[in-house]
Structure 1
């Protein structure tokens, strides 16, 4: 009985969600993806537009790193509903943000036509 429990614990540790290797890889990638934009901004040698795109790109990659290594979202059958819920959340956020910007733009254009 104890031997069966030990083999189950060893199997779960190597293939489970809480593998130390996974967290270390995620942490190192997150630190790298934070330090690079910080260094670019502190140097101040690039144009603002270029810096902005690099920061946005690193932020998008860092979101993926956090989802994969810390939240353990992947394409497996067990995670499919979690991924669908995440995609639905992103869709709702996009609709709310785009709709809000559209409404504010139209309100500005209609209420202050002399400001065009």
Structure 2
């Protein structure tokens, strides 16, 4: 019979780290809903607040749940993530640029 793998190799977080990540994620989610539902901010400020909260929540998920850090063991994972994020930014940015440029040229006629 095969034995179950029970060794803890240190690459996974502890229960307290998962709990901290979960609590931070819940707080950031509630803050996002509060920024929109209370109408305390102008639409532009609400969009800026949502953007900042979303970026912080992405970082929380990457650090606490995906265990992405700057250690030497994680260097390839970090480089792959940065490349993927840059690719997505270029694709989305290019698409928005093309759509905006097309709209400007079509509306001028």
For residues 33-112 of structure 1, what are the structure 2 equivalents within 5 Å?
33-112=28-107
Q: So what's the TM-score if we normalise by structure 1?
A: 0.79
User: TM-score, normalising length from structure 2?
Assistant: 0.84
Contiguous gaps of at least 5 residues in structure 2: 1-5
1:45-92 CA-partner distances (Å, limit 9, x unpaired): 221111111111111100000000000000011111000000000111
In 1: Cα distance, 2:20 partner to 2:106 partner: 52
Task: Name which structure has the greater RCO, CA cutoff 8 Å, separation 6+.
Answer: 2
C-alpha contact 2:69 2:78 (8 A) present in aligned 1: yes
Which residue matches 2:25? 30
Aligned residues: 104
2: CA distance, partners of 1:81 / 1:70: 18
Structure 1: any 5+ residue segments left out of the alignment? 1-7
